[in-house]
A and B are shown apart, each in its own frame.
Chain A
Amino acid sequence: MPESGQPTSFDVTVIGAGVVGCAIARKYTLLGARVLLLEKAADALDGASKANSAILHTGFDAPVGSIELACIQEGYRQYEEIHAKMNLPLDRCGAMVLAWTPEQEARLPDLMAQARTNGVDDVASLTREQILAREPNLSQAVRAGFVVPREALIDPWSAPHGYLTQALINGATFRRNTEVLSGVFDGQGWVLDTSTGPVQTTRVINAAGLYGDIVDQRLIGRADFDIRPRKGQFVVFDKTAARLARHILLPVPTATTKGIVVCRTIWGNLLVGPTAEEQQDRVNADLVPETLEMLRDKAAEILPALADEEVTTTYAGLRPACGDKEYQIRRHPENMITVGAIRSTGLSAALGIAEYIARMDETPWTPIPEPEWPAMPMLAEDQTRDWQTAGNGGILCHCERVTRREVAAAMSGPNAAKSLAGLKRRTRVTMGRCQGFYCSGALQEMTATCLKPEDAE
């Protein structure tokens, strides 16, 4: 039910609080629209956006001339512009595309040419010796490669939470546990039937990710694409492994996937993944022991010293793919825009997609003259963290050094965590090497009154 003081009709309703939905909600809010963001799950970022490789891409390998490329590059530009204002991290570590076989080596010139065509003209080829000088822990088996200096690491959760928070503090409404069941368009606007009651809205933006085609069916009775969930499994190594690689280490991509990446995370771990496995299930992303072993072994082939490092965690995510390689962005005559099949590049492209949609919409809004900016909690390992400052309440989660003050802050404010999973994404609590061995009791005590007990991931 709408809380008192909230509007009962909206200019724009965004369906889906993934990274793309959060960015679109922010964009329309800043444009001056009355915005409602609906989320089926108990908290934001619970679908495709909960698991990715946390890289801000330049678009060097995106399809030439695609909407995806345009959105990635606009997204990158806007992230650079706003990250400091929102206290969001940006680690410009650069990426290296590495060839391990003669066949891969032969493809490097074409990939560099594509990068330059895409406007990423600072790529530079590297000899084996130059690669090993920059990354001395790499396997000697590397043959050649090139560097993409502007590929960067970001926080895959604080960024979209930042977009959402900025929307909320500037007047947007966020309704969780709300599934869109059907809707009626009367030629002027929509009445949506949702699991928490009716919603009146002039426009609808479908950013439902893994459910994008289903939401189109429910509202306009047709869908121009079928979502085919693509699973990606990851293995994360402990923080001592992060010293082994400075750059994001990319393989030569294949026709279907960017391939398996080895890179640091903004939190100071080292990850390897993802796989690319098509499946029907839109809900569960199962971990498969043999695949995890393959990933660990693959990582140790690239960085041999990883054989002695410990695994901190494993995870699997689903990316919303479809038969086509291009984003499925459509403007429908029913005052509705669908943003579908964003696959794995949503984190990089979200701000660009929001810009693209707003231009497509052509409505003359009156932007908020001086919007509020949120300062997001800084969780990057190389930045000053809360545990290093006074008044933090003491460390609660020892592995990730999450303080009691950070946990308390994440459970309050305009975008308070409502599930344990949401709390983890906001603070990283229990996500370190002990996975809750030490702090589960203390955490449970602190969160008992604020969170739903289930929803652990």
Chain B
Amino acid sequence: MTNLPDTCDVLIVGGGPAGLAAAARLAEAGLDVHLVEREPVAGGIPRHCGHSPYGWREFRRVMGGQAYAKRLIARAKACGAQLHTGVTVTDLGRRGQVTVSSDSGLQSVQARAVLLATGARETPRAPRFIGGTKPGGVMNTGALQSLVYLNRERPFRRPVVLGSELVSVSAALTCRHAGAQPLAMIEANDRPTTWRAATWLPRVLGTPLLLSTQIEAIHGRSWVEGVTLVNGQRRWDMDCDGVVVTGAFRPENALLRASAIDVDPRTRGPVVDQYGRCSDPAYFAAGNLLRPVETAPWCWNEGRMVAGAIITALAGGLPDPDLSEPVSAGHSGISWHLPQRISPNFSSPALENVQIGLARPMTGTVRYGQASGNLRSRPARRILLPLPDGGVDLQFEETP
């Protein structure tokens, strides 16, 4: 049996940095907090990330992902939050009525507030419409890292890495950690998605970055034997025994889309106001479910901030959600923005900025309400704008 009660103050869905940070703060405030994590161990993505520098913002010391995850778990528990692992939420009902599945079957929990912190995952091979066969040895960074750091496996020796985001560099380093030599990093655009400097590391380790290049087809029947690459008119085959399909993160929104909660087709996460509050006001959201995709410390802080809003909400202190006004962004260069709504007459927002993501490199002036400012940035960069005090339309004037 699970030890989940039938009712509680706050139910948190997802035990990554956002969910664990929120659990600690909510429990510290004396609330009855239960966090459900579908994996056997909480910790989220950092749990299977052996190498990156984690923890400076949260604990003022640098540590690996697994140690960082353990610290987050210990902190939430020490504050009095109840963690339930191996418990999967299967339905988000109206007004905080949640159904879970576990070894003991189905159970229903009525929470006064529910925090959704289900995080993000990479886009797998299939929706990218990569051609060829479907052999083994094609996987996301997430699967690779769980095999390498949790199971101590080496799934391949000479893979290629698709993508040039920060996570793609992480994938290349994970390959190295497992004793595999990535043959190339492959990027469809004419420059890397992450900071150019970050791609220096794989290159000095002997992994070239192939720009303006795509994987047209994957070959092999039971296991990967090679790929066909295309660069403009040039097409060539490269032998390899694995393909790591990295990045293009998308919120893990399956539960959300099956519920009555409003989903923003642009972020693919829930529509929220500046408190992280969803269209059903019993639900809040924080972390990478909100947008693709931010760092662990960012999500940790977002979890803490939205937890603060939940504490206020349960004390009846948040503005009426029915009065909230939309934030819109009609410009084709802005691919998503957050929050999507503003509840007026507020103090202490949980989301302290408007976050936007660009569809392409843009230079120009952003204007909305009384605010304006210059912007020169690219996709996959963090862009923060001051929070308006009501509904606005984000205008953008491009400098030619």
Which residues of A does B touch, CB under 8 Å?
236, 238-240, 283-289, 292-293, 308, 310-315, 387-395, 398-399, 401, 420, 433-438, 440-442, 444-445, 453-457
A286 and B126 contacting across the interface, CB-CB below 8 Å: no
Instruction: Kindly report which residue of chain A lies nearest to residue B255, judged by CB atoms.
Output: A398
Known: A314-B126, A394-B86, A433-B254. A289 touches B216 (CB 8 A): yes
Known: A289-B216, A313-B126. A441 touches B48 (CB 8 A): yes
* Interface assignment of B236: CB less than 8 Å from any CB of chain A: no
Given the complex of chains A and B, what is the CA–CA distance between A436 and B102 in angstroms? 20
**Could you mark each residue 82-123 of chain B with 1 if its beta carbon is under 8 Å from any beta carbon of chain A, else 0?**
000011101000000000011111100000000000000110
**Could you mark each residue 137-157 of chain B with 1 if its beta carbon is under 8 Å from any beta carbon of chain A, else 0?**
111101100110011010000
B147 and A286 contacting across the interface, CB-CB below 8 Å: no
A387 and B143 contacting across the interface, CB-CB below 8 Å: no
Instruction: Kindly report which residue of chain B lies nearest to residue A385, judged by CB atoms.
Output: B101
B40 and A442 contacting across the interface, CB-CB below 8 Å: yes
Given the complex of chains A and B, what is the CA–CA distance between A418 and B133 in angstroms? 21
B132 and A240 contacting across the interface, CB-CB below 8 Å: no
Shortest C-beta distance, A193 to chain B (Å), equals 25
Write out the residue numbers on chain A whose beta carbons fall within 8 Å of the beta carbon of B142. Answer: 437-438, 440
Point out the residue from B88, B132, B137, B252 that lies within 8 Å of A387, measured CB to CB.
B88
B143 and A312 contacting across the interface, CB-CB below 8 Å: no
* Interface assignment of B38: CB less than 8 Å from any CB of chain A: yes
Instruction: Kindly report which residue of chain B lies nearest to residue A393, judged by CB atoms.
Output: B103
B38 and A454 contacting across the interface, CB-CB below 8 Å: no
List 13 interface pairs A-B (beta carbons < 8 Å), by A numbering: A238-B254, A239-B254, A239-B258, A287-B130, A288-B131, A394-B102, A433-B124, A436-B124, A436-B140, A436-B143, A441-B143, A441-B147, A442-B40
Which residues of B does A touch, CB under 8 Å?
38-40, 48, 86-88, 90, 101-106, 121-122, 124-127, 129-140, 142-143, 146-147, 150-151, 153, 216-217, 221-223, 252, 254, 257-258, 265
Write out the residue numbers on chain B whose beta carbons fall within 8 Å of the beta carbon of A313. Answer: 126
B129 and A444 contacting across the interface, CB-CB below 8 Å: no
Point out the residue from B38, B86, B124, B136 that lies within 8 Å of A435, measured CB to CB.
B124
A456 and B124 contacting across the interface, CB-CB below 8 Å: no
A440 and B132 contacting across the interface, CB-CB below 8 Å: no
Point out the residue from A310, A401, A445, A454 that lies within 8 Å of B101, measured CB to CB.
A401
Shortest C-beta distance, B272 to chain A (Å), equals 20
Shortest C-beta distance, B230 to chain A (Å), equals 10
A444 and B147 contacting across the interface, CB-CB below 8 Å: yes
Write out the residue numbers on chain A whose beta carbons fall within 8 Å of the beta carbon of B129. Answer: 287, 289, 292-293, 311, 314
Instruction: Kindly report which residue of chain A lies nearest to residue B125, judged by CB atoms.
Output: A435
Known: A388-B105, A389-B105, A436-B140. A285 touches B88 (CB 8 A): no
Point out the residue from A238, A393, A440, A455 that lies within 8 Å of B143, measured CB to CB.
A440
Point out the residue from A287, A390, A398 that lies within 8 Å of B133, measured CB to CB.
A287
